Structure 1
Amino acid sequence: MLATLHNIFSIAELRRRIFFTLMMLAVYRVGCHVPTPGVNAQVLASFFEGTQGTLLGLVSAFTGGALERMTIFALGIMPYISASIILQLLTVVYEPVARLSKEGAAGRRVITRWTRYGTILLSVVQGAGIAVGLQSMTGPAGDPVVPYPGFGFILLTVITLTAGTAFIMWIGEQVTERGIGNGISLIIFAGIVANIPAALVNSIRLFKTGALPLFTLIVIGLLMVAVIMFIIFMERAQRRVPIHYAKRVVGMRNLGGQSSHLPLKINMSGVIPPIFASSIIMFPATVANFVDVAWVQQAAAMMVPSHWLYNLFFVAFIVFFCYFYTAVTFNPVDVAENVKNQGGYIPGIRPGKPTSEYLDLVLSRLTFAGAIYVSAVCVLPTLLIGQFNLPFYFGGTSLLIVVGVGLDTASQIESHLISRSYEGFMRGATIRGRHG
């Protein structure tokens, strides 16, 4: 491990990227403790004490506790994710956006700009809903959360929360461009990981007081270890489709005749489906928690991680986004055409359309298995944790995001190390022609 760390920090560019990423995440964590003006923090904290294990507690966990403290980053990165979902859906159902997605870098810049505008619009709507809801909230003793309500408070809260979300979006884009890993995923990763120390301390305190039995604590620990090992195994699993290349005669040389494979991961969409599914479920449920209407409160009471209706919608959205995101990122027709142009073929399958149909069939089966795996990891541990009544929310969704983002970031670091090794092999070498 020490040798690996030495290799990582001995590369100037990689060291600079890692330090930049850590610095940006530190700025994000500092912002999660800057309060929004006009809110009584003590009364709000007493209100959130009863939300552990509910959907509102999950939202607070994804924002690193920013929503619970009502800081400038209370909305988190979820408006950006919601805007990204809308734009990606439009690439399938709206032809002008679909054409933009195929125009290369220029089209992606336009879609990115539209995503930013959508993020600001959603932040304004959610910020206004939260501000109105805060004015009607009271603590256990009847004290108001907002001592001085009115239009000024609503306007100030909307501006503050929208600016905070825009700043988080900028941090994520900067980390993706100048740091290491995916910036948006790392922000969610940092928000979840930040709650682990306090949750562990609280669990140890309950164990010492006898409120949490030793057997239950051991079972949950073993369950988390087993789920982590299962996630790592499934994230690395892949189906290797064999590809053979025909021999070609170029001048006096025989080229080709080699065998390779096309790796197809079981979970090609990574942690995107549970993040997107959580974002869609969180948006109406979060607003419902701040609206003091009877039927709205009844609907919000059913949308908790331990309720069957919540899990039904959650699994349905996960399956949908597994297929949707895989279809967006992997095009069997283009892959089959590229294999054909390079003189390759799948044994027993004719090049062209039969190859694309075969790849589509294999990918559909793999995606189904991946969707079942992601749904099981996100739902089953949550149900078991709900049965054990643990004092903190760290279910399957959080585990999948933490492990998945960690593996992706480690893969990018490994790619930098490998590219650096190739540069070391080439340094000092002289490339000569046939005649010296």
Structure 2
Amino acid sequence: MFTTLKNAFKIKDIRNKIFFTFLMLAIVRLGTAISAPGIKSDVFTNWYNGMTSNKALGFMDRFTGGSFEKMSILALNITPYITSSIIIQLLTIAIPKLEELQHDGEEGRKKLTAYTRRVTIALALIESIAMSVGFYRNGNMIKSQNMIYCVEIVLALTAGSAFLMWIGERITDYGVGNGISIVLTINIVSRMPQDLGALYTKFLSNHSIVQKVVYGLIIFAIIVAMVVVVVILNDAERRIPVQYAKKLQGRKMVGAGGAEIPLKVNTAGVMPIIFAMSLFQFPLIVSQLVGYNGTGVWGEVLKYLNEGNWFDKTAPKYSIGLVVYLLLMIFFAYFYTSITFNPLEVADNLKKQGGFIPGIRPGKPTSDYLNTVLNYIIFIGVCGLMIVAILPIMFSGLFGANISFGGTSMIIVVSVILETIKQIESQMLVRNYKGFLDD
């Protein structure tokens, strides 16, 4: 990886793209420090710090890089865009017109991107209105009980989310990597120093040298093990061999040869965790923002949804929420894979091109075989995801260590870094090919 970056900085075009990416990310981090107008940011921060038992707000702040805790103009960050992308992907199944656009090449993708932008603005508007209403009801958080301040809050938060969406697209077009993913990654990474400091205070400070070394090695080993598992999940794949029959073209037989169909073990990526966690966190976040005190039947339901209660030794019944969470992850792993990979379409394309899997007849038998293999490797992949997702929650519940570089965050950071490095390598390769052709 370091060799790739070193070589990339020697090439002017790629070096400029990397510098442009860093400049955009610097602007993102600068926006985090600018408070939204109309809000008493210090009052909100104190309220947020008092909600230490609610992991949902921590989840929100983790994805916004501290913007939510400070209630800056980027408090919503790119979460509306992520939700919008998920909605559009799901609607491509239910709406035939959107499914056609998905297969229409570049023009279809541009229209889907335009729809995603509109839904993003709509979601940001709805979320900012809901938050401003919550602030208005809690008069201490806004500068005055005046609706003008609520309008300012709505406009600022919506504009901030739209600006970050624009930043992400600019990085994609003129920088390196996927801009939205990189913005999300820098938000997560920005919280890591604070988390490491919290771990040091919790487990290492006020201990002897020997205890510090032992505890430090254990924490380091856990983090390295999680990174290794994520890297394996990201790169592991099952390769299905394919043979192509010879065809008569003129007087020659052409087309014979072999190939492979790579099926990723973690086909759905981080989406099962995001889907499942979003369903759990949304009611918790809304209940806190509207000032719900958590009493009654609904308050009991919220306790099952709160991951902070899943490993509570004094109330083991709330671990039922963990079981439901894992079942949702399995469901969404298979569901999302069914959206992104169609075995029947792959089998039909193989048949049209004269390809076949050795020992499997073309057509439906090939589709059934791919389905069987896919179901098997999806289960392996989601088991790995569950391990990565549960470890930080268990560590937090049993030992009281609140960290943001586990589970979803770890998968996103490692995956984005690996994909960005691969894109830089591909750009270097293309440039070398161009230089060879020019000569």
TM-score of the aligned structures, taking structure 2 as reference length = 0.88
Q: How does 1:12-411 map to 2 (within 5 A)?
A: 12-52=12-52, 54-137=55-138, 144-206=140-202, 207-210=204-207, 214=212, 215-251=214-250, 253-294=252-293, 295=295, 298-306=300-308, 307=310, 308=319, 310-411=321-422
Compute the displacement of 1:233 (Å): 1.6
Compute the displacement of 1:240 (Å): 0.8
Q: Which range moved further: 297-306 or 183-192?
A: 297-306
- Contact 1:81–1:276, Cα closer than 8 Å, also in 2: no
* C-alpha RMSD of the superposition: 2.6
Q: What number of residue pairs does the alignment pair up?
A: 423
Q: Distance in 1 between matches of 2:355 and 2:187?
A: 46
Compute the displacement of 1:417 (Å): 2.4
Compute the displacement of 1:254 (Å): 4.2
Q: Which range moved further: 382-391 or 261-270?
A: 382-391
Q: Distance in 2 between matches of 1:100 and 1:38?
A: 42
- Contact 1:52–1:393, Cα closer than 8 Å, also in 2: no
Compute the displacement of 1:35 (Å): 0.2
Compute the displacement of 1:159 (Å): 0.9
Corresponding residue SS for 2:307: coil
Q: Distance in 2 between matches of 1:190 and 1:3?
A: 22
- Contact 2:396–2:402, Cα closer than 8 Å, also in 1: no
Deviations 1:212-271 (A, max 9, x none): 963444322211111111111221111010111223444454434322221111012222
Q: Distance in 2 between matches of 1:309 and 1:24?
A: 43
User: Could you say which residue in structure 2 is the equivalent of 1:422?
Assistant: 433
Q: Which range moved further: 122-131 or 386-395?
A: 386-395
Q: CA separation of 1:71/1:51 partners in 2, compared to 1, >3 Å: closer, same or farther? A: same
Corresponding residue SS for 1:243: strand
Q: CA separation of 1:204/1:293 partners in 2, compared to 1, >3 Å: closer, same or farther? A: closer
Q: Distance in 2 between matches of 1:81 and 1:312?
A: 25
- Contact 1:82–1:276, Cα closer than 8 Å, also in 2: no
Q: Distance in 2 between matches of 1:211 and 1:184?
A: 44
Compute the displacement of 1:416 (Å): 1.6
Matched to 1:95, the amino acid is P
Q: CA separation of 1:2/1:186 partners in 2, compared to 1, >3 Å: closer, same or farther? A: closer
Q: CA separation of 1:12/1:333 partners in 2, compared to 1, >3 Å: closer, same or farther? A: farther
TM-score of the aligned structures, taking structure 1 as reference length = 0.88
Q: CA separation of 1:309/1:30 partners in 2, compared to 1, >3 Å: closer, same or farther? A: farther
Percent sequence identity over matched residues? 38
Deviations 1:393-421 (A, max 9, x none): 43322111111111111221222223233
Compute the displacement of 1:313 (Å): 4.7
Deviations 1:323-378 (A, max 9, x none): 23322222222322332233221101112222222212212222222222212211
Q: Distance in 2 between matches of 1:293 and 1:4?
A: 51
Q: Distance in 2 between matches of 1:379 and 1:41?
A: 33
- Contact 2:243–2:358, Cα closer than 8 Å, also in 1: yes
Q: Distance in 1 between matches of 2:8 and 2:287?
A: 47
Q: Distance in 1 between matches of 2:275 and 2:13?
A: 32
Matched to 1:92, the amino acid is I
Q: Distance in 2 between matches of 1:316 and 1:167?
A: 36
Corresponding residue SS for 2:405: coil
Matched to 2:205, the amino acid is K
- Contact 1:123–1:161, Cα closer than 8 Å, also in 2: yes
Q: CA separation of 1:20/1:328 partners in 2, compared to 1, >3 Å: closer, same or farther? A: farther
Q: Distance in 2 between matches of 1:201 and 1:286?
A: 26
Compute the displacement of 1:162 (Å): 0.7
Q: Distance in 1 between matches of 2:430 and 2:266?
A: 26
Matched to 2:392, the amino acid is P
Q: Which range moved further: 288-297 or 210-219?
A: 210-219
Q: Distance in 2 between matches of 1:5 and 1:145?
A: 46
Q: Distance in 1 between matches of 2:216 and 2:338?
A: 41
Deviations 1:261-295 (A, max 9, x none): 21111012222332344344333322211122344
Matched to 2:307, the amino acid is P
Q: CA separation of 1:19/1:404 partners in 2, compared to 1, >3 Å: closer, same or farther? A: same
- Contact 2:176–2:423, Cα closer than 8 Å, also in 1: yes
Q: Which range moved further: 296-305 or 387-396?
A: 296-305
- Contact 1:45–1:69, Cα closer than 8 Å, also in 2: yes
Q: Distance in 1 between matches of 2:244 and 2:116?
A: 42
Structure 2 spans left out of the alignment, 5+ residues: 311-318
- Contact 1:130–1:290, Cα closer than 8 Å, also in 2: yes
Corresponding residue SS for 2:33: coil
Q: Distance in 2 between matches of 1:259 and 1:4?
A: 31
Matched to 1:381, the amino acid is P
Q: Distance in 2 between matches of 1:22 and 1:395?
A: 24
Q: Distance in 1 between matches of 2:124 and 2:252?
A: 62
Structure 1 spans left out of the alignment, 5+ residues: 139-143, 429-436
Q: Which range moved further: 197-206 or 54-63?
A: 197-206
